[in-house]
Each structure stands twice: as structure tokens, then as C-alpha cells.
Structure 1
Amino acid sequence: LLNKFCYDDKRLFGSIFCVHCNFLQTIGLYSLGVGIWLYLERTDFHELTPTSFSVFSLFHCRPLLLYWCSGLDHLHPLVTGNGRVFDLTTSWDRLQKSLECCGVNNGSDWFYSSRWPSHRFVPNSCCDPKHFENVDSMNNCGKVDNSTLLFQQGCYEVFADWLYHHVAIMNWISFALLIAEVSSIPLCCSFLCYLFLNLSFHRDEYHRCLVEMNDLDAARDLRIRPMDRIGDAAQDP
């Protein structure tokens, strides 16, 4: 009965352990895929993301504080001083093309930038391709005094939504990993207890077998050499 109970308990524990390992592997692969996806997307315009923006987003401190303090104060100087850093220029172009937006609030944020301090120009990435026949016709379109050719929405709200979307994904992944890790603690404790009990059980079985073997050896010696014992008894005074 004890052996059957130990066998059933071992089989049940093994099944639970396998399911939990598969769950951890699935979460790990999913987290790896999301991490690669975020890494590939961050190369487009991650330079425009302020550190405080990401930290506040992680703790779900939403629009008011971010909108008035973190985002605008960080993005507007990048627009006006954009011509001094090529990486930021490339990031802004990719951002505006990908999100179909122009400037922080609107295209006027680009007016009198360091790239054209005396003109009301915007980058070519602000131009809406719907109003042009091909890519070649968009050359120097930002210097045309026609605001209808530009993207009408600013980039801040669109960029904030994009960032919150990515942060939300990472929050859910982190929460799932946290649950998986926390659930591993009682499983590991039960596994250690099972090993300890199983080791104790086998140790007791080993000692019992040794005792039985010694008893068998003693009985066998008694059966093999009975006359020696009788002779020894006869020599007793």
C-alpha cells in the first residue's frame, strides 16, 4: 500500500512539474519574441523617448503629468535644435513617416528651426504622400507654402499612444513572468520536501534490508554448521 501511494504521488508530482516547466518555457519564448520585436522597433525613434517618460509610463502615471511636464518639454527643444544632430533628424523623419504626423503639436513647430532659421519650412517627412504622385515629386515639399500637403496632426499624442501600447505589452509580460516565478516557489518547496521524504524512505528501507540480510546470514550459518555449535556446547563445563 505504501509503495502504491508513493508511486501515485510521484506520478502526480511529475505531471504537475512537467506542466509547470512547459508553462515557463512558453512564457520565456513569448517574452523573448516580444523583446526582439521591441528591440527592432526601438531603432526607429527611440532617441526621442525621454527617460522620465518611460519610468512614469511603467507606473501608469498617465496623461496629465506626462503631457505637460515630460513630453512637451523634451520634444520641443529637439524640434528646434534638430539640425545639430543627424541621428535625431533621422529619428524624426522615421517617426513622422511611420505615425503620419508633423511636429510636436503641428507643423508650425518646425518653423525657424536651426536648419532654416529664417524660413517657415518643415521636413519633407511631414508631407502626406496622398497628395503626391510619386516619391520624386515630394522633393523639397516641406518648403512649399501649402499646409494642406502636410500631415495635420501633431506627433506627441500619436507617439504617446504608441509608447503606451508597447509599455502595456511589457507590463503584461512582466506580470505573467512574476506570477510564474512566484508560483515556482511552492512547487520548488514541495519538490524539495518530496525528495527529502523519498530519501528518508529509501534510507529506512536500506537499513531494514541490511537488518534482514544480517538475520538471514545468521540463520544460514546456524543451518550450515549445527554440529559445530553442538560440539562447542559439549565442551562447556
Structure 2
Amino acid sequence: MIINKLANLTQKDRETFFWISNFILLVCGVVSFIIGIWMYIEKSDFAELTPASYSAMTSAGICAFTGASMCIICIIGCLVVWFRSKIMLITYVAFIIILGITQLLITITGLFNTENAQEFIRKDLLKNINSTHVLSQMGHKVELRITWDHMQETLQCCGVDRPDDWFYSKQWPNSQYVPDSCCNITNFASENDTYHCGMLPENRNLWHQQGCYPVFIDWLFHHIYIITWLAVVLVIVEIIVLIASILIWKPISEFHRIHQKRNHRRRLVEEANEELRLNPMDRIGNAANEPESVDQIT
């Protein structure tokens, strides 16, 4: 039923549908770009502890690049209607298909690969506990202790699965210590009182008992879920745009057919005029056969 209605749309309605779908695509592109910028600004905490393939920076880059690409594609879509160009329309459709496949892969990865990703991140956190520093994505040497302290204080957690993960780490290979950032501030009169509380294993009830892995995963996958569902929306919009592109093909083809007919007629007229210009005597009779006087005519 819907297909029949779309097939019976007039040329003007098809162009209007294309303009609307292209505008929706533009809005989605702008939103995606803004989300990418927001992720880059707001979600850079704990970046050193995040695997590069799952970091907020990577997600921010994907969103920003996708948004910018969609805006460029929308400009091509506008040129398609303005110039009635088949080549531009084919280019437009090709870009939409490539973008749609990319978004579909992101959606599948985000929805069905979470368990493997979570286990990979957990192992990476355990490895980082025994590392003193790491190279950031910008190539700078970053002390992991600072990042761990910031995360444990912010998320109110300790270790990966439990505080015991810190025992016998490289910072204190012979002791069952934890960083002072593991100390639960609510158990102390002031923050200064937490000094060296991580070196009191007999008072471990003063530490955060929850590991950082569950809350870190929630924090990390928050932006992954955003980009996944954004990809779902974009795939739906891109399908609508492809339908609009198919519908606009007929008016553009009709325009080219009429234009070719006009050009063909114009060429015929120009060729006829050119032939007359080159052979002007063809329309003049032979003077020898003309009567010499009026008397001969009578």
C-alpha cells in the first residue's frame, strides 16, 4: 500500500519528499557532530585506563566524523536537485550506502559484542594496576596512579573486582596495601585523616568494598550505548533517504529525456540553418531560363 502511494507521487511531491528526507539527514548529521564534540569534552576522564578501541575519544571521533560526512552528503543531495545530475545522484546514493553499512556494523558491534568487550576491559584494568605509567593517545607519559586515584575517588570504588587487587602490586610488592583513594571519606572526619589509611589492612572496613570494574563499565558503556542507538536512528534515516533517492531518479531521468529532445531539435534547426547559409544559391533559379522582358511574359 505504501509502495503504491510512493510510486504514484507526482514529480513535485517526489522532490519535496527528497528535500525533507535530506533535511532530516542534515539534522541527524549536526546532532551526531555535536554529540561527538560533547563526548570529547565531557568524557575524557579515565581515558588512560580505557582501551583505545573503547575510549570516549574513539567514540567522539566516530560521531564527529559521521556528522561531518553526513553534512557533506546533504550538500551533494541539494546539488542533485538543483542541477538534476544523475552522476551526483549516483554519488549521493553510494555515500549513503557506505555510511549505512558503517552504521549497521557499529550497531551490531555495540549490541552483540558487549560481553567480550567487558571481559577485555576487565583484564586491561587488572594489567594497569601493576603498571606505573602508560602512554596516552597523544603520546605523553601519564602516571597511572593519578588516574586510578581520580577514578576511585570519583566512582567510590577500590581495585578492579575488590580491594585485594591492589595487594602486592608493583607499588608495594611485599605488602597488602591499597591507595589512600580507596578510603571511604564518610568514615573520616576530614579528607586529611585518610592519609596512609590504605596501609592499614586490619581496618579494611574503612575502604570502599566495591570494585571499580562494575561502575567503570557503566561509565564507559554509557557513551557506547549513545553511539549505538544513534547509529540505529541513522540507519533508519538513511533507508528513508535511499527511498527518496530512488523516487527522485524518475523526475531527473524525465528531465534529461526532455532536455535531450530539445537539444536534438535545436541541433536539427542549427544544421538546417547552417546548410542554407553555406548554399545560398540553391534557392535562386537559373537566370538563362528567365524571360528577358515583359513582352515575352505576355
Task: Calculate the TM-score normalised by the size of structure 2.
Answer: 0.57
Match of 1:113?
169
Return the offset for 1:95: 2.1
Whole-Å Cα distance in 2 between the matches of residues 42 and 89 of structure 1? 19
Amino acid at match of 1:180: V
Match of 2:131 in 1: 82
Q: Percent identity?
A: 32
Q: Give the Cα separation in 1 of the matches to 2:109 and 2:208.
A: 27
Q: How does 1:184-203 map to 2 (within 5 A)?
A: 184-202=241-259
1:115-154 to 2 correspondence within 5 Å?
A: 115-145=171-201, 146-154=203-211
Q: Which moved more, 1:173-182 or 1:99-108?
A: 173-182
Change (3 A) 1:87 1:40: farther
RMSD: 3.8
Instruction: Give the structure-1-normalised TM-score.
Output: 0.69
Of residues 120, 136, 139, the one that matches 1:70 is 120
- Contact between 1:97 and 1:125, CA under 8 Å: does it hold in 2? yes
- Find 2:236's aligned residue among 167, 173, 179: 179
Distance 1:204 1:53, change over 3 A: closer
- Write the letter of the residue equivalent to 2:173: P
Q: One-letter code of the match for 1:153?
A: Q
| 1:203 Cα deviation from its structure 2 partner | 5.1
Greater CA radius of gyration, 1 or 2? 1
2:22·2:241 contact (CA, 8 Å) conserved in 1? no
- Does the Cα contact within 8 Å between 1:122 and 1:143 map onto a contact in 2? yes
Q: What's the CA shift string for 1:178-213, capped at 9, x where partnerless? A: 2333332332233243122123335546777999xx
Moved more, 157-166 or 44-53: 44-53
Distance 1:207 1:103 in 2: 79
Partner amino acid for 1:168? Y
Range moving further from structure 2, 37-46 or 21-30 = 37-46
Q: Which sections of structure 2, spanning at least 5 residues, go unmatched? A: 1-8, 56-105, 135-141, 269-289, 292-296
Q: Is the 8 A contact 1:57 1:164 kept in 2?
A: no
Moved more, 125-134 or 51-60: 51-60
Mark the CA change 1:201 to 1:52 in structure 2 (over 3 Å): closer, same or farther. Answer: closer
Structure 1's unaligned 5+ residue stretches are: 1-7, 212-234
Which deviations, in whole Å up to 9, do the C-alpha atoms of 1:133-176 show, x marking residues without a partner?
Answer: 44333333323442232221111122223333322211111222
- Structure 1 residue 102, shift from structure 2 partner: 0.7
Higher relative contact order (Cα pairs below 8 Å, separated by 6+ residues)? 2
In 2, distance between residues paired with 1:195 and 1:122?
70
SS at the partner of 2:46?
Answer: helix
Q: Deviations over 1:73-132 (max 9, x none)?
A: 3222221x2335543223222222232211011111112221122332211221223233
The answer to whether the Cα contact below 8 Å between 2:183 and 2:208 also exists between their aligned partners in 1 is yes
